[in-house]
Structure 1
Amino acid sequence: MIEFEWDNNKATANWRDHGVTFQHAVKAFSDHFAVEWIDDRENYGEERFNLLGICEGVILHVTYTERGENIRIISARRAQKYEQKYYYSENSF
């Protein structure tokens, strides 16, 4: 089973800034139609990934990294319109 982790200070700031808890963001990983890609916009010193997944009817954009066998959530927010279009273009419902 996948284990999730995060920095509690970052989680609090994420809730304040984006209105999404990391506990809620974990549910996006259960979306069987989730879209993932490597976040290579910058050199973060670690490999980062982006995930678009539906959670309770809302598409979330979650940035994360892998730490051993755990997934460490870095940020989570509601997907922007262009990201929502991308999600649906990758999935033919």
Structure 2
Amino acid sequence: MEIEYDSNKAASNLAKHDISFAEAETVLFDSNALGFEDYDSEEEPRWVLLGMSSQGRLLIVVYTLRGE
């Protein structure tokens, strides 16, 4: 799986929430995470994932799937 994100958004997220996208990415590998589709997204299909990061923090991650 290839994960990509906007570097400006990543810097903004780190400054605003003190959470790097690298840490947030680890939530995607939490086998106990809870996920559901974000039906409010009008631009593209998005999913919301609630899970533990590798740093032991409970995070909410919103993501979309692109390509194959």
Task: Give the TM-score, by structure 1 length.
Answer: 0.67
- The number of aligned residues is 67
| Alignment partners' CA distance in 1, 2:9 and 2:41 | 19
Q: Which residue of 1 aligns with 2:32?
A: 33
More strand per residue: 1 or 2?
1
| Unaligned ranges ≥5, structure 1 | 70-93
Instruction: Give the structure, 1 or 2, with the largest relative contact order (CA under 8 Å, sep 6 or more).
Output: 1
| Unaligned ranges ≥5, structure 2 | none
- Structure index of larger Rg: 1
Q: Which residue of 1 aligns with 2:47?
A: 49
| TM superposition shift of 1:18 | 1.2
Task: Give the TM-score, by structure 2 length.
Answer: 0.89
DSSP 3-state at the match of 2:11:
helix
Over the residues paired in the alignment, what is the CA RMSD in angstroms?
A: 1.1
